[in-house]
Structure 1
């Protein structure tokens, strides 16, 4: 078993440009899934925005990003990132989730998601937002 934490950056319409910029700086592979790609365009004007994206480079650089939908609060520099915690098994992720949940505010209970066998989001007792999931390949 292994677990990996990755900085997950939050934007309002600039996620693709930011990921392309970071790829130009660090190299690597860019992957982008739009809200439309995932069949989740709740606002048709935001269908082409990034629901999930990442840059992974052979040199070890890894960053994830998405465009916060306009229906959700977002302020540049105030809630600019999440800490993404990915594991290989449901048991592993559930154990971390249970510990992180102590004193936390749950935004999305841990459970199956369209893109992962398990996914959840919480703000821990120190104010850090965690997105927790079991890693799986995107089949889009």
Structure 2
């Protein structure tokens, strides 16, 4: 299995603008998935916010971002990014999860989600938040 780590930036209402800006700087393909599309959000104030987005260029630049939902605490500078670890082998991904989970705070257990066959989020013993998932193509 190959794994890729990517910085995952967290915003409150600015993810779309940030990703569009990064695309203008670095080029590449822009993908934007709204809260309505990813979480089934129906709150009019949040349906068009970004539930997941990325810019990925042919030259190797890759960044992900999302808008933190209103139900979750958000303070700029506190938990401003995640490290995303994506792979294609469940056994290997679970091994990484098990190792990272030692003395960690589990934010979302490693299990199937609406967008991935396996997804989980934890904050490790050093305060770094990791998102692990099986990468699947987005066909939105």
TM-score by length of 1: 0.96
SS at match of 1:44: coil
1:43 deviates by 2.8
Aligned mates of 1:52, 1:114 — CA distance in 2: 12
Query: What residue in structure 1 maps to residue 27 of structure 2?
Result: 27
Match of 1:64 in 2: 64
Higher strand share: 1
Q: Note the C-alpha offset of 1:36.
A: 1.4
User: So what's the TM-score if we normalise by structure 2?
Assistant: 0.96
Name stretches of at least 5 consecutive residues in structure 1 with no aligned partner.
Answer: none
Give the total of aligned pairs.
140
Partner deviation per Cα, 1:101-129 (whole Å, 9 max, x = no partner): 01101011000001001000000000000
Give the equivalent residue in structure 2 for 1:6: 6
Unaligned runs of 5+ in 2: none
Shift of 1:76: 1.1
Q: What root-mean-square deviation, in Å, do the aligned CA atoms of Structure 1 and Structure 2 show? A: 1.0
* 8 Å contact from structure 2 (residues 109, 120) kept in 1: yes
SS at match of 1:38: helix
List structure 1 segments (4+ residues) > 2 angstroms apart after TM superposition. none
Offset at residue 42 of structure 1 (A): 5.2
For the residues of structure 1 that align with 2:82 and 2:132, how far apart are their CA atoms? 10
